[in-house]
Chains A and B, each alone.
Chain A
Amino acid sequence: MRPTRTVEFSTGLFVLLGFAALFFLVTQITNRELATNGKSYGVVALFENIGSLKPGAAVSMAGVTVGRVETISYDQQQYKAVVHMRINSQFDKIPKDSDASIMTSGLLGGQYIGITPGGDEQYLKQGDRIEFVQDAFVLENLINQLASTFLRRDQGSADSGNQGGNQEKAPAQEPKK
């Protein structure tokens, strides 16, 4: 009639296991907090095109993850994407004139922000803005540039000079993923 102690014990174990699994999933699998151990400071960067960068994407320097993208929003005054990042507090020597570019890992991989250090002796602090940015790689823009380069060369111009895609004011297009 009454379940035995063994039955009750194993049922309890089962239920606990279920909740443990749920806990594991919710905390480890989802984009919950940064899982930064401890403190971080926030910096911001403005991009013309963020591609498919998502909140929670990694921020890395020299390939090492130093922080995370926290939020992404749009500024209607400047017509740019506003990306807030949180950098782990232990990385407090990032020069103010460093470069933030949106990179892709692999062909189908997610996009992340790579920071290339500059030479400034002053370092980024909470609330600072990274001035130098490189937008996400947009295939169509590259093709346009290549096409116009070839055209110009054909016209006998020795000029080249493309500094990457951010000089173009081409309307931002989402690269097809």
Chain B
Amino acid sequence: MSSNATSRKPEPQTAQDSIVEVRDVHDSIGGRPIFSGLNLQIQRGRITAIMGPSGTGKTTLLRLMTGQIRPDSGQVLFDGIDVSNLSTRDLYALRRRMGMLFQNGALLTDEDVFENVAFPLREHTDLPEALIRNIVLTKLQSVGLRGAARLMPAELSGGMARRVALARAMATDPEVLIYDEPFTGLDPISMGMIVRLVRQMNYALGITSIVVSHDVEELSILADSSYIIAGGKVAASGSFVELKDHDSEIVHQFINGLADGPVAFHYPAPDYYEDLLAG
């Protein structure tokens, strides 16, 4: 890609150059509508954040993007290819261009760290053992865990497990990296490591990153542009500065972490006074 490894951020590219596009997607699960007219463009080479209150369907969105589920209507495009219409084989071929980091790492528990990172290489390539070893160690080095190559996943802390998972997601050099809640449950130090890694990976390797999270603070440092999803649609998008000044109430509540607002504090209940008197 055209990015220079030493510069911090590449020049903004044309708005048309989106590697992932979600067009007017409607989807429901078990009758419950999740999305009604969702539109997103993920720009190539940038870090895009996707945020929203709990339950807005961020996981569902990731599943749509990776072709795990099909939308009721609308299109999901990866590099111009409609993801929802692919045969299994084509879908698998497409998935090799993506890497995904799961919330709890999702490492294979009966293999050690080295084997976990080597897994996609062994499954998809016929590379000789020596070459695999080099690649694995390089990836582990980039996340700072080359010395932990022989540990088992059970022996790793949460942050370490996530870093290993990142190394594994990077093993086949994908074009797009998707992070599902990468900061959840980490101590500040580990969080700092992950933030640094996300940024480094993106710009040093010239890939695209999609980060799904609700850690507003971390994302404000990290993201080039962000989407806030609420009520089944995009509630706001743009850079963080733009979002901070957005006039939508839900965006305001979300960004500033307010306890009450469009997402109400009180769960719907009958009148308080009457409820007490009735008992």
Contact = CB atoms under 8 A, between A and B. Distances in A.
A108 interface: no
B122 interface: yes
Closest 3 pairs between A and B when the two form their complex, measured CB to CB? A1-B115, A1-B111, A1-B122
A1 B136 CA distance: 15
A1 B122 CA distance: 10
Interface of B: 111, 115, 122
Nearest to B111: A1
Nearest to B118: A1
Interface residues of A, number: 1
Q: Which DSSP category, helix, strand, loop or mixed, fits chain B's interface? A: helix
3 contacts: A1-B111, A1-B115, A1-B122
Nearest to A1: B115
B136 to A, nearest CB: 12
Contacts of B111: 1
Contacts of B115: 1
Interface in A59-110: none
Interface of A: 1
A46 to B, nearest CB: 70
A37 B61 CA distance: 78
A1 B111 CA distance: 7
Nearest to B110: A1
Contacts of A1: 111, 115, 122
Contacts of B122: 1
Nearest to B119: A1
A58 B111 CA distance: 60
B168 to A, nearest CB: 14
A1 B121 CA distance: 13
A105 B122 CA distance: 68
A130 to B, nearest CB: 70
A5 B95 CA distance: 35
B81 to A, nearest CB: 33
B121 to A, nearest CB: 11
B250 to A, nearest CB: 49
A36 B55 CA distance: 80
A1 B115 CA distance: 7
A15 to B, nearest CB: 23
B35 to A, nearest CB: 40
A3 to B, nearest CB: 11
A1 to B, nearest CB: 6
A57 to B, nearest CB: 56
A173 to B, nearest CB: 68
B230 to A, nearest CB: 45
A2 to B, nearest CB: 10
A1 B117 CA distance: 12
A4 B115 CA distance: 14
A1 B132 CA distance: 14
